[in-house]
Amino acid sequence: MGDIAVLANVSKPTVSRALRDSPLVTAETKALVLEIARKHGYAVNRNAQKLRDKRTNTIAVVADFKSFPGSRLADPFSFELLADVAQALSLRSQDLLLCAPAEESHETYQTLLASRHADGIIFLGQGQRDPMLRQLAKTDAAFVVWGAVAQDQPYCAVGGANVRGGELVGARFAESKRRRAVFIGGSDEHLEMKQRRLGFEKALLAKQPSASVGHIVVSNFSYESALAAMVAYLDGKNKNEYPDAIFAASDTIAMAVYKALRDRGLSVPKDVSVIGYNDNPHAAWCSPSLTTIRQDTRQAGSLLVEQLMMMLEGRKPQSIMIPAELIVRES
């Protein structure tokens, strides 16, 4: 910047002001400075800016890429969410620092902020880290979480209407008079799972009190793990005890359910009705196309960013739920 100042025959502050389009600078001076800067490929040093200002205009986004080490891609849902968060941040001229989750201690994240690496954090997925997040909430760390919205939560979350989503599924199975329903998904420790399962049971039993509702717990959200769990479950049953309705906690799990049913010669939806969650792109492509619950990631992304920005302005944003919508297809 010094060089540019010399070349333009002005002082450093004037160059700075010109580049930031300050009204304090003559149009001519401004034009001159801009021209020279452009010609010399000069760009303001962001690190110096960040050092001087308190704000870094950078948001750290923590995304779980793999459902477990060595596995393939996690559910595409997280990626659509990441993409939409990226877009929302870009609209607000915030940089996105992408973090693969490290050792999950709240201190790691406090350090991230303390070192002025980022102004705030967006966690894409609450998963098992609720306890850590509660710790982090005791500090003045600015962060927002995609996950279940709960009553006693000391931090700001943006999440789907999981109970409602489960209810929609339960109601639909009740309508088609299904009597042996099963929920396949994570354990109740995973709050989102618990909410979906409870909404599901409640709505189904309300209209169909004689129905049974099983619960198959998967150890992680991978296709393989879900397939193993589903196969094991069916292996333990007689044909006449087989479920006639399966609610899968994700579309990926639903694909594993399809596979297990196909291998046993069961037809969807005649023998078994299946409903998934998230409305992944491939839910619409497979055959029979999958009925599922859609959550608008675009809206989710905007809200996550919005709430975090609010927090950075010193306000105290509320947790928000986004709607769950049943997308009826062939399954």
Partner DNA sequence: TTGAAAGCGCTAACAC
Partner DNA sequence: GTGTTAGCGCTTTCAA
Q: Which residues bind its own copies (CB under 8 A)?
A: 41-48, 50-51, 56, 61, 65-66, 72-73, 76, 79-80, 83, 86-87, 90, 95-100, 110-111, 114-117, 223, 252, 255-256, 258-259, 262, 281-282, 285-287
Q: Which is nearer to its own copies, 19 or 303 (CB)?
A: 19
- CB-CB contact of 273 with 246 (8 Å): yes
Query: Could you say which of its own copies, DNA, none residue 248 binds, taking C-beta under 5 to 8 angstroms by partner kind?
Result: none
Query: Could you say which of DNA, its own copies, none residue 86 binds, taking C-beta under 5 to 8 angstroms by partner kind?
Result: its own copies
Cβ-proximal residues to 237 (8 Å cutoff; 6+ apart), any chain: none
Sheet of 212-217, strand order: 212-217, 180-185, 245-248, 273-277, 291-294, 325-327
Q: Which is nearer to DNA, 51 or 284 (CB)?
A: 51
Q: Which is nearer to its own copies, 87 or 299 (CB)?
A: 87
Query: Could you say which of its own copies, DNA, none residue 12 binds, taking C-beta under 5 to 8 angstroms by partner kind?
Result: DNA
Q: What are phi and psi of 202, to 5 degrees?
A: -60, -50
Q: Which is nearer to DNA, 14 or 297 (CB)?
A: 14
Q: Please, what is the minimum distance in Å from the beta carbon of residue 132 to its own copies?
A: 16
- CB-CB contact of 127 with 157 (8 Å): no
Query: Could you say which of DNA, its own copies, none residue 198 binds, taking C-beta under 5 to 8 angstroms by partner kind?
Result: none
Q: Please, what is the minimum distance in Å from the beta carbon of residue 260 to DNA?
A: 55
Query: Could you say which of DNA, its own copies, none residue 29 binds, taking C-beta under 5 to 8 angstroms by partner kind?
Result: DNA
Q: Which is nearer to its own copies, 153 or 252 (CB)?
A: 252
- CB-CB contact of 322 with 148 (8 Å): no
Q: Which is nearer to its own copies, 22 or 111 (CB)?
A: 111
Q: How far apart are CA 93 and CA 245, in angstroms?
A: 47
Q: Among candidates 200, 197, 199, which has minimal Cα distance to 187?
A: 197
CA atoms within 13 A on the CB side of 301: 21
Q: Which is nearer to its own copies, 148 or 309 (CB)?
A: 309
Q: Please, what is the minimum distance in Å from the beta carbon of residue 285 to its own copies?
A: 4
Q: Please, what is the minimum distance in Å from the beta carbon of residue 226 to DNA?
A: 47
DSSP for residue 247 = E
Q: How far apart are CA 260 and CA 232, in angstroms?
A: 10
Query: Could you say which of DNA, its own copies, none residue 14 binds, taking C-beta under 5 to 8 angstroms by partner kind?
Result: DNA
Cβ-proximal residues to 113 (8 Å cutoff; 6+ apart), any chain: 119, 120, 121, 141, 142
SS3 15: helix
Q: Please, what is the minimum distance in Å from the beta carbon of residue 237 to its own copies?
A: 23
- CB-CB contact of 205 with 236 (8 Å): no
- CB-CB contact of 272 with 243 (8 Å): yes
Alpha helical stretches, state H, 100-207: 106-114, 130-138, 162-175, 191-207
Q: Please, what is the minimum distance in Å from the beta carbon of residue 284 to its own copies?
A: 8
Query: Could you say which of its own copies, DNA, none residue 19 binds, taking C-beta under 5 to 8 angstroms by partner kind?
Result: DNA
Contact residues for DNA (CB under 7 A)?
1-2, 9-17, 19-20, 24-26, 28-29, 44-45, 48-49, 51-53
Q: Which is nearer to its own copies, 95 or 306 (CB)?
A: 95
Query: Could you say which of its own copies, DNA, none residue 61 binds, taking C-beta under 5 to 8 angstroms by partner kind?
Result: its own copies
Cβ-proximal residues to 310 (8 Å cutoff; 6+ apart), any chain: 316, 317
